[in-house]
Chains A and B, each alone.
Chain A
Amino acid sequence: MRHHHFILLLLAFAVISCQSPGKPTLSFARQIPIDSTVASDSSISATIAPLRDSVEAIMNEVIGSSPKEIFSEKPESPLSSFVADLLKETAVEELNESGKEALPVITVINIRGLRAPLPKGVIKVKDIYALMPFENQMIILKMSGKDIKSLYQHMGESGGDGLSGGSFTFNNQSVKNPEINNKPLKEDAFYYVVTSDYLATGGDHYNIFANAVEKHESSNKIRDLIIQHIRELNAQGKQIQTPSNQRIKMQ
Chain B
Amino acid sequence: MKTNRRQFIKTLAAGSLAATLPFAVKGESGSHNTLTILHTNDVHSHLDPFEANHPRFPNMGGFARRASLISKIRQQKKHVLLVDAGDIFQGTPYFNFFGGKPELELMSKMGYDAATIGNHEFDNGMQHLSDQLKYADFPFICSNYNFDNTILKGKTQSWKVIEKGPFRIGIIGLGINPAGLVSPANYKGMDWLDPIKTAEETATYLRNEKNCNLIVALSHLGINSSEERPDSDRKTAAESSSIDVIIGGHTHTFMDEPELIKNKAGKNVIINQVGWGGVILGQLDITLNKGKSTFLATQHIVR
Contacts and interface: CB of A to CB of B under 8 A. Distances in A.
Nearest to B255: A31
Given A27-B286, A31-B256, A40-B62, A55 B97 contact: yes
A47 interface: yes
A37 interface: yes
A54 interface: yes
Interface size range of chain A in the complex: 35 or more
Contacts of A29: 19, 21, 23, 257-258, 272, 282-285
Interface string A196-229: 0110011111000000000000000000000000
A224 B121 CA distance: 22
B233 to A, nearest CB: 16
Contact of B258 (A23, A26, A198): A26
Contact of B67 (A18, A25, A41, A52): A41
Given A32-B283, A51-B94, A26 B23 contact: yes
A51 B45 CA distance: 13
B14 A33 contact: yes
Given A26-B285, A48-B63, A203-B184, A32 B213 contact: no
Interface stretch (A1-9, A126-134, A162-170): A126-134
A51 B102 contact: yes
A22 interface: yes
Interface string B259-286: 0100000001010101000111111111
A135 interface: yes
A34 B23 contact: no
A18 B28 CA distance: 20
A22 B167 CA distance: 10
Interface string B22-58: 0111101100011100000000000111000000000
A43 to B, nearest CB: 8
Interface stretch (B3-11, B137-145, B191-199): B3-11
Contacts of B109: 43-44, 47
A28 B23 contact: yes
Nearest to A56: B93
A199 B130 CA distance: 23
A102 interface: no
Nearest to B8: A30
B293 A23 contact: yes
Interface residues of B, number: 90
B154 interface: no
A45 interface: yes
Given A35-B14, A41-B64, A21 B213 contact: yes
A172 B21 CA distance: 48
Interface in B143-190: 166-167, 179-186
Contacts of A203: 180-184
Contact of B62 (A22, A25, A34, A47): A34
Contacts of A135: 96, 123-124
A41 B65 contact: yes
A37 B14 CA distance: 12
Contact of B68 (A25, A39, A126, A197): A39
B98 A133 contact: no
Contacts of A45: 64
B287 interface: yes
A237 interface: no
A47 B102 contact: yes
9 contacts: A27-B287, A28-B285, A29-B284, A38-B65, A41-B68, A44-B67, A55-B97, A202-B184, A205-B179
Given A22-B33, A31-B254, A51-B97, 7 more contacts: A24-B289, A31-B17, A32-B7, A34-B49, A58-B97, A203-B181, A205-B179
Pairs of residues from A and B, 3 with the lowest C-beta to C-beta distance, nearest first: A40-B64, A41-B67, A22-B288
